[in-house]
Structure 1
């Protein structure tokens, strides 16, 4: 098949991201995955504020020598216009990339907002675009507000979010991305799109160990060398917070779920997000097996897929292979 044919058969990906050390890994893995074509990055707050997320996204594309890929800047506030944001710089460093203070990127984001870029791409390639959402879901919710037909036009949304059946990582109830904008998350979960949610119940099973880190350090690949430079802060945080000799691969797992879904199993049901109170940000899964008597906030909501198991060794191997062969 010719180059044009090959490109046609690739899955088109937009990565919505808040880089972030594991975001950097996920972006590099995506750029080195022959099954997919990254058609854009959109940015969001989370690990850092949105402005810095945009700067980091542009910087990572420069490192990867892929400045042909557009970056669209996303929302600076939650869907309910809150500007007091939870930023996890204590996990990734104040610059989001391990406190390396890289020079500013030469590139600029495109003139379009993330939401309008998402809507435009879904309209241009109906049913063909997968959004991999690695941060709070504000941009996706804004795309749905902008174009109510977006859920039907987008191919799939693979999102990192929720703590199904386990404790959260912000507090016992909530996982960070959902907690970052619970109202947006509830809009997305109930919008009717084809959604696969990857929660920390799954990503906490996939660990890059000290031994894996050493393998990366000995490797001459550009991506591996770059990641070894930035990853120290992330290892130190995990050691302190979880007493673990390794780091969780949240974002690369979510990215690879979009590339190779056979590495996971999932269940299907309705997910709602609590938007206030002590349980703000909790994701509740209804397996839809019971018929309830009353009409409630749960009735007739569309179902989504939620990951339940993961082939962790295969995931780690795939991440390593794609970072080391660059």
Structure 2
């Protein structure tokens, strides 16, 4: 069963402040910096913790990929003159047997906040290891969690969920934990997020005169594949659709028995043009305090 959900929220309407945990594998790609910069600049969102995530399973991974992400999280905060709680997450995927959880500061922060609140929203830009470990250790918190995540491919016509893209492969077991939990899930599939491809020349022309824009462009050019002329800013679409729900269309899907056999909300469409326009306007208006 699939049900399309309509939204009436206006992008210019004042929004109440929402508290979130952000979980990011910032060292993995260029798009994390853009996504994090956008949500750091958002007055309607309070970030109660910024967790670093590993991408250790990738054949491109650097040693201690989580630590690399943690360092870059703090570097971006420093560039923007911001102060947030930053926590180290798992160093690698969940274990195969025994105590499968990865015990980390990020995992225990999720548990702590979930126990203190009626509801906890977590935006996950990489592997689900930190969130899944928290649920594995304290299963009762799952029903309090609203998890927004980028990953998988959803064939909406046939209701087939594929898990062969980067984020699921960084921790397949963690995804199983989430799919089979009571956590409410909002998933941005990569076959939808692919619409976020942008040319470097366009991004440079619109952002290079701003101090933060220049910093983000440097991240593009200094990355290990910095010569690329275009990229898909995957994570920016998830962050933007969370901030402004009318930037995306959610479709509720009853998943198959081997994928949780439950209702999950998937983004089936996005407005990439609106997302980029919002990003440019927000960036150019940003000043350090």
TM-score relative to the length of structure 2: 0.79
Tell me whether 1:303 sits opposite 2:287 in the alignment.
no
CA RMSD of the aligned region, Å?
2.6
**2:79 pairs with 63, 67, 71, which one?**
63
Residue in structure 1 matched with residue 250 of structure 2 by the alignment? 266
Shift of 1:138: 0.6
Residue among 5, 8, 17 paired with 1:10: 17
Cα distance in 2 between the residues matched to 1:22 and 1:297: 31
- 1:190 Cα deviation (Å)? 2.2
Structure 2, unpaired ranges of 5+: 1-14, 56-60, 98-102, 157-161
- Could you list the per-position Cα deviations for residues 228-270 of structure 1 after superposition, in whole angstroms to 9, with x for gaps in the alignment? 221125695684xxxxx42111111111122112211122224
Pair 1:315–1:255, CA change in 2 (3 A):
same
* Distance (Å, rounded) in 1 between the aligned partners of 2:226 and 2:31: 13
1:73 maps to 88
1:113 corresponds to 2:97: no
Contact 1:216 1:228 in 2 (8 A): no
1:227 to 2:242 alignment: no
Residue of 250, 266, 269 corresponding to 2:234: 250
How far has the Cα of 1:54 moved from its partner? 1.3
Match of 1:183 among 173, 181, 192: 173
Once the two structures are TM-superposed, the CA of residue 207 in structure 1 deviates from its matched residue by 2.1
Cα deviation for residue 191 of structure 1 reads 1.1
Shift of 1:306: 1.1
Alignment of 1:99-138 (within 5 A): 113-127=105-119, 129-138=120-129
Give unmatched runs, 5+ long, in structure 1: 1-7, 83-110, 167-171, 240-244, 272-285, 287-295
Structure number with higher relative contact order (C-alpha < 8 Å, ≥ 6 residues apart): 2
Per-residue deviation, 1:311: 0.9
Task: Give TM-score scaled by structure 1 length.
Answer: 0.71
Count how many residue pairs are aligned between Structure 1 and Structure 2.
253
